[in-house]
Structure 1
Amino acid sequence: MRLRDLLDADELGLHLLVGQDAGDSALDRPVRAVLTTDLADPGRFLTGGGELVLTGLAWWQGDGDAESFVRVLDREGVAVLAAGEAEHGLVPDDLVRACRRHGLPLVAVKPDISFTTITEHVLRRLHRQRVGSLAAVVERHRRLLTDQGVPDSVLELLQHSLGLDVRVLSPTGRQIAGARPPLRARTAAALAGRYLAARRSCEAAPHRVTFGDRHYSLVPVRHSTGPSAPSATTGTAAELGDWLLVVEADMSGWPATRLELLDRIADLVADARSAHDRTKAVRQDLAGEVLDLLHSRASLDEVAARLRSSAPNVLAPCDTWQRWQFVVAAGTWHGAGAIPAPALRALLEEGLVQPDGPVPVWPEQIAGTVDDEQAVLLVLLPEPTDTLPGPVLDCAALQQRLAAALARWLGPAGRVSIGVSSPVEAAGSARRALDEARTALRVADEGPERVTVRGPDDLTSHILSLLPLIPAETRQAFAARLLSPLRDHDSRHQTDLLPTLESFLECDASWTRCAAQLHLHVNSLRHRIARIEQLTGRDLARLETRLDFLAALRTG
């Protein structure tokens, strides 16, 4: 969008102080991002051009302060500066003069207009343009995959013309395409596990496997070559992102012509796989942007505004907030150190897919990225129904699927640990949910299994299971120290802060569910929680704090 679009938005009430003399050249400046700051030197948070910078002027104390601030903005190519009038009653002349010297457009923000309102307005406009572009990319790749008719139609032709049952499996045993009915789940997982173990030990393909009286040959599906070929999972543990052809036959005695035919089909499936991976790349970029935002110093209001404007709508366009869960994974492989995070991301992008499960999850509902040695995934959840009022990922089922495929690949000393968060029911709780998933990951690291998945229920049980190990007097002293301020306040003022805290924790810190349970408006609940935090000096946005309170309440 452009500066003139901001000024034309009546609901924002912005007033141009500097820039009139420049005419269209100033009004047509493009705005590509929003930054809120009250730092005297915000340079390290600027991205290099096109920002609308919002400042409350807390850094300005007197004449001369504005020059260095504006010089930094001008050097970094900021599009426009918006200064709030609430702090000083007006925009200081010192700032007006500095903006004129540097040719930086300056607008005034009335005291009754919040920066959140402006941020949401800009991000909605930017989002509509960006989503249109991303949606076109996704649709183009989807059409490419569909129009090729690969792999299903080609594999069906093989079945009818040559009597060959050929299927395409993921490294977790999920059938991506091929002969129907699909293989039994245990057989598919065992074949995938055998393939991963063979790849890890560098056995030559095809890999032959016998189950009972049935013979199978396993053939890797290579990435298409070329400058656009995906490379996220190349190198160590690349097989965790592989597809494999499963031929229900022993290929050892096949003539050269039939082997060549299968090789050509593998190439066609590789093309389909590359198209599939390119559609995932769009969602991977999105997940990276979400993670960067949550790691930034942006305020909670700004984080919420940006998430409401982008994340769920790109994954699944809708008018309302759609719940998601974070999944965080890390692992080690004996003799090879840490399993590369891109390989774990590729594994979970397939492992989390379960269209026929009690909580259906499709590939387009998963966006994955990496953070150092961890894979971080966002999984959109289906809408609640009467039969499934609170759909969440099944941690036990995910652990079972991955363990079946990875048992031989990991070996006796390797392990994969996965943490799953509570659902993100509102944009403002995303940071809390990511923190919770990482805490669940740490709990999973302590598990005895080679593949361990832990979720929010496991966090509670883990903490509570440790309570009996702490002397009773110590537990009671801790509970009294933490809860006494609330009990005293409730007793003196006839309030319900302690019952409110219990309900808030029972609802997994969900504002909407807790407010409904207590028959309160959400703002009233926020006021009570703020009072609890003030009295106890603890921050309930932190998972560690909520677990401390839960332990104290269970102690009495």
Structure 2
Amino acid sequence: MRLRSLLAMPLRLEVVTGEDELDRTIRWVVTTDLLDPGRYLRGRELVLTGLVWRTGPADSETFVSALAEAGVSALAAWDLASGTVPDDLVAACERHRLPLFKVPEDVAFATVTEEVVRQLSGARAADLTAVLDRHRRLVASQGAGLDAVLDLLDRDLGMRCWVLAPTGRVVAGPPAPAPDVLARAFLTAPRLPHHLADPDVSLFPVAEDTTSRVADWFLACEGDAADWPPERRALATELAAIAALERARLDDRLSMEGRLAQELVRLVVAAAPPDEIVPRLELAGLDPASSFVAVAATGRGPLRPGELRTVLAEAAPVPHPLVGLLDDEAVALVPAAPGADVAAEVHATLQALAPGLAGSGIAVGVSDVAPAAELRGAVEEARYARRLATGRTAPVCVVRHDELATHVLLLASVPDDVRQMFEMRLLDPLRTYDEVHKADLIRTLETFLQNSGSWTRCAEQLHLHVNSVRYRIQRIEDLTGRDLSRLEDRVDFFLALRLA
């Protein structure tokens, strides 16, 4: 227990000095009237004294220095004969940074000792009882879910805990204090377990060794874990392990619903006929007459595809969305509620994860609302928007359908292999030439088109002579067999650059 806990007890102790040291912990309580009791102390005690040892001001320095050297947490004193705490004792405690409490005249030292020992012994007994019985009771409760386990800990041990997602969503437990604050602290803590002073909560990872924090759950427990006995810390570790098992059990990649979602996404991308799509929507509990929004996402850095899938499912504004993986890209099909802004909700949720994305990131594209018969177009639109998002540097970048230009919508409906072939035929000769000759033809072409074919403006922007620009454009035409004075050839190059 901490020194500040003494102030909450019915002992009416008053702090004389050392208010900034009240987070020290107490291991035991000792009463002494020896001038030098150091050899009888082991550290972290609350020492009670009636000052019988004091014959003059110099004795205070001797007594307090002995306590400080022994690692005592605090001193509680009262001189019944003089009815005061001597100034020299206060000064000695200040010099040695030893917290000093005044014991009320009508409170016996035996009462203080009894109350403190009762608090310390009660906590230890509860922890020891929990250690002996925890395996049977926690495992027996697991079948009822995490809420039953957390309720058991709260009821039997007074150990109040929560399980949360890194977005701040409470997975299990009662309403949590400041869940957004807890989530941000979990994502940014340099190491775990991590203690927050406000609220007074310690955070533990659920699957730290196997899962990135942005895709993990975490455990929040009231109090500072640094003050807990080993038995209670072991209990928190076991609770985290049970939460990891529950998280794995709920992972829909392993369930029938998860496999159905994966199959449905692949069928949509493969342009399967409606008679294959509709029955699977119904099996997933969705109304084929509803409208949907497609969301596509890829991760940068260490975020693995399976973790990306978990993050996207967490960010979707409906519970248990249909999410499938296409190589390293996750695609979700989200039923569109009337008036809902799926892109805004996804962006807001992912922004909560941004503090934990240092060195990585998430790029997301969101389609317009589409009926079930047009799901393929919605998915292609979302995937193309995601490609645009990938080119941006923000840790979380969400591109919505209305940010796409008309030609982008057209390109979104073209199969991937056709887009890739078109772009390669036009630009690969220029890339190869640039790599060999360091000629910067790709950049020259892009600048030329951005300036509507103006030689002068292009030269100014590239800081080149006009003749140099003319030479480069001629080289581009020779390598590709195209004529940049022709509108259709300029359009082809413009679209190829958009696809790059």
TM-score relative to the length of structure 1: 0.45
Of the two structures, which has the highest relative contact order with CA contacts closer than 8 Å and spacing of 6 or more? 1
Larger radius of gyration: 2
